[in-house]
Amino acid sequence: MLGAADAFRFEEHLAECARCRLMTAEFAGVAAVLERYARPTPPGVGPVAERE
């Protein structure tokens, strides 16, 4: 687990490291997708409902 100082350094590192920024962005994207699928399907919406 990251301490406050480590988290701060990581953010500082992210600011100047495109590679880590990309990885973080990809991870955030995956997390958002997982969260979307973890959410219960609202009533009246089929499981294969299309999204615009």
**Token representation of residue 23:** 């990885």
Q: Which helix (H) or strand (E) holds 16?
A: helix 4-16
Sequence letter at residue 31: A
Q: Which residue in the set 8, 9, 12, 17 belongs to the binding site for Zn ion (CB under 5 A)?
A: 17
Q: Which residue in the set 7, 20, 28, 30 belongs to the binding site for Zn ion (CB under 5 A)?
A: 20
Residue 25 engages Zn ion in binding (rule: CB under 5 A) = no
**Rounded least distance, CB 23 to Zn ion, Å:** 8
Detail the DSSP E strand segments found in the chain: none
Residues at the site binding Zn ion, with contacts judged by CB under 5 A: 17, 20
